[in-house]
Chains A and B, each alone.
Chain A
């Protein structure tokens, strides 16, 4: 077991993990900006932009916020409001497109 792996086991993510996640976030941010200047159809652009945003949020949550290494109760505290938030947005979806 290498030093970095020992560090990983003892303390959760290693510094190297954090830098790798940061690199991923930077690339995904650049991809989102590039996407906004592309000639893709609006619906597809929006879908891809929010898919990328979700991937970035999952990376931050799993590694930076340690959810990948945390107890189930903590994971439940993180996931439950997200599910409720999605349900909330879906609940008002029938009104989408109607003028207030």
Chain B
């Protein structure tokens, strides 16, 4: 980065990058491997148990899954806008877009809750079969990430609203990176679980 704003960023290590941003990317790299373990195992075991897995996947609520995908990509847009507004020094827009992202994140969790309650009402639990075991662990782990993201954004919003000097561009960008990663994970989970 060579913008005037970039020179205010801190702390810069020997890499020439802000250490906090580099740290976030290394954390996200570890997260990729975490989800790859589950996704790789699912792909493998699905092929070995094709009939059970395909029949169980047909029991998922595809329209709700599609709506949730749309909600999450919309939240990625509002998060990107929040980061863009922070780069431009427009804190009022940062607050607005963070608030919208929080609302959309809560919406995603609400819809997921409706889906889970539907499944439990029909006695589909992680113990039902291999598919539902994977479905609940993968979507549950993802929902946990969404929840953590909503908490992070709420703290960030409070900090921006308080005009805290500690909340600079990199802090907002890091929360944004985390949120976009959560979106990317769902981009793969949706076709993997709902559409195969």
Determine if chain A interacts with chain B: yes
- Write the residues of chain A forming the contact surface with B, with a CB cutoff of 8 angstroms: 7, 10-15, 18-19, 21-22, 25-26, 29, 32-33, 35-36, 45-46, 49-50, 52-53, 56-57, 60-61, 63-66, 69-71, 73-74, 77-78, 80-82, 84-85, 88-89, 92-93, 95-100
Q: Please give, as numbers and ranges, the residues of chain B lying within 8 Å of A61 by CB-CB distance.
A: 180, 184
Report the separation of the CA atoms of residues A61 and B188 in the bound assembly, to the nearest whole angstrom.
14
Report the separation of the CA atoms of residues A100 and B96 in the bound assembly, to the nearest whole angstrom.
50
CB distance from B99 to the nearest CB of A (A): 17
Which of chain B's residues has its CB closest to A37's CB? B62
Q: Please give, as numbers and ranges, the residues of chain B lying within 8 Å of A64 by CB-CB distance.
A: 76-77, 79-80, 176, 180, 183
Q: Please give, as numbers and ranges, the residues of chain A lying within 8 Å of B194 by CB-CB distance.
A: 36
Q: Is the CB of B84 within 8 A of A13?
A: yes
Q: Say whether B3 faces chain A, with CB atoms less than 8 Å apart.
A: yes
Extra contacts, 5 of them, besides A21-B80, A49-B196, A99-B49 (Cβ < 8 A), are: A22-B77, A56-B187, A77-B22, A82-B32, A89-B43
- Write the residues of chain B forming the contact surface with A, with a CB cutoff of 8 angstroms: 1, 3, 5, 15-17, 21-22, 25-26, 28-30, 32-33, 36-37, 39-41, 43-45, 47-49, 62, 66, 69-70, 73-74, 76-77, 79-81, 84, 87-88, 173, 176-177, 180-181, 183-184, 187-188, 190-191, 194-196
Q: Is the CB of B36 within 8 A of A85?
A: yes
